[in-house]
Amino acid sequence: MQPASIAAEIALDAVEKSFGNTPVIPPLSATLGAGEFTVVLGPSGCGKSTLLNMIAGLEPVSAGRIRIDGQEVQDWEPKDRGCAMVFQNYALYPHMTVAENIGYALKVAGIARAERQQRVEGAARVVQLGDLLDRRPGQLSGGQRQRVAIARAIVREPRVLLFDEPLSNLDAKLRHGMRMELSHLHRRIGATSVFVTHDQVEAMTLADKVLILNEGRIEQFGTPHEIYHFPASLFVAGFIGAPAMNLIEVEGDGTALRLPDGTALAGSAHRGRAVLGIRPEKLRIAEDGLPATIVYREDLGSHAVLVVRLGSGQEINVSTPLGGDTVAADQLSLHLPEAHVHLFDPASGQRLNVTQGQVR
């Protein structure tokens, strides 16, 4: 298999979708760079599959334009768009052998048998399927089916590779393996890839860029680093990271952010109500600071997650290295490093502190 299929840029221009009267995707615009691996991440039912199907041509757009490599394709047939897709349940044709499954697109395209066989074998080699070509899908394991589905997608050397939750049917260990393989495969093939998932680990590990979707709207579109360290909204802040970012309602008086009972959490020039966000692993255990009571402790081997209760009664997560001074204690005091504090508008959910906290 030649390493470079011609990668293509995908431009979504005010793409809209509604089923009947139900709007699923309000006008949405984004540009997915050529050769980039974009992960579309969002909760169930937010329109990820719908978006992918519109790019593939399996769902018509209600309005807007989709350009692949500069050409407007929203009215084209799926086969003309140069996309290939890997489906969640693999959708391998049960009555065809593995080789026939992989080669079906080539057969439909009228490619001669000899070349077809050569390309099928090439694609099978890429995903290490060599000796399974004569089997039926029913005789394969989940991981092997996954490979067949990927081989079937790459055999046509598509400009765009689309994945709809391809790993969600695999067990945790296999998932990790396939993640690595997909990552390698992407680098080798170089096609523009769009990968839909609701698993944030997949998103963080695979993506060049993550597109976070919520009820059809883009919450944030950025690198995994940006998404994690500078969440653009409360939704992103709460969605990314495990355990999730602590979100605390505070009031700013121009010098500090205070809990309702007046306790100062961190210094800030902000005035008025806000939601303070801080990741569990960014909280420091300090000599003197915010007093907190430990209510629950989870030892995860590499680190421990403590659930602590603040004076206001709110419970937050603290992630600490194991051992040390927290083991026996049931009281501790916390320090919130100002650089790691995120501030969000409680009404709109948008990020408030644009410049603050930009620590890499």
Partner 1 sequence: MADTNSQFNSRWLPIALALPQLLLIFLFFYVPIYMAFFWSLSLERPFGGGAEFVGLQNYARVLNDAEFWKATWRTVVFMLIGSSLAVILPLILAVAADRRVRLAYPARNVLVWPKAVAGASIGVVFLFIFNPFIGILAPLNEVYPGLWQPGLDGTDAFIMLIIAHVWGGIPFNFVILLAGLQAVPQSFHHSAAMDGASAWRRVRDIQIPMVLPQLFLVFVLEFTESVTAAFGLIDAMTQGGPGGATTLLVYKIYVDGFKGYDLSGAATQSVILMVFVLSLAAVQFFILERKIRYER
Ligand X SMILES: Nc1ncnc2c1ncn2[C@@H]1O[C@H](COP(=O)(O)OP(=O)(O)OP(=O)(O)O)[C@@H](O)[C@H]1O
Residue 208 vs residues 39, 191, 300, 304, 326: alpha-carbon distances, Å: 8, 13, 29, 30, 38
d(Cα 321, Cα 274) in Å, to the nearest integer?
A: 30
Cβ neighbours of 344 (radius 10 Å): 24
49 binds Mg ion (CB under 5 A): yes
Do residues 336 and 278 make contact, with C-beta atoms less than 8 angstroms apart? Answer: yes
Identify which range of 47-55, 210-218, 255-263, 337-345 contacts Mg ion by CB under 5 A: 47-55
Interface residue with partner 1, options 3, 20, 130, 138 (CB under 8 A): 138
Neighbours of 298 (CB within 10 A): 12
CB-closest chain residue to Mg ion:
49
Shortest CA distance to 350 belongs to which of 215, 257, 248, 230?
230
- 166 interacts with ligand X by CB under 6 A: no
Rounded to a whole number of angstroms, the minimum distance from the CB of residue 164 to ligand X is 7
By CB under 6 A, residue 50 contacts ligand X: yes
Of residues 48 and 351, the one with the C-beta less far from ligand X: 48
Is 277:265 a contact under the CB 8 Å cutoff?
no
CA distances from 32 to 11, 100, 233, 271, 315 (A): 6, 32, 21, 38, 39
Q: Which of residues 295-334 bind ligand X (CB under 6 A)?
A: none
DSSP E strands in 233-341: the ranges are 246-253, 256-258, 264-267, 271-278, 284-299, 303-310, 315-321, 331-335
Task: Choose from ligand X, Mg ion, partner 1, none: what does 44 bind? Cβ within 5-8 Å by kind.
Answer: ligand X
48 binds ligand X (CB under 6 A): yes
Give the x/- contact pattern for ligand X in 196-235, rule: CB under 6 A: --x-------------------------------------
Q: Which is nearer to partner 1, 83 or 245 (CB)?
A: 83
Under the binding rule (CB under 8 A), the answer on residue 75 touching partner 1 is no
Footprint on this chain of Mg ion (rule: CB under 5 A): 49
Footprint on this chain of partner 1 (rule: CB under 8 A): 53, 56-58, 77-79, 83-85, 87-89, 91, 93-95, 104-105, 108-109, 136-138, 152
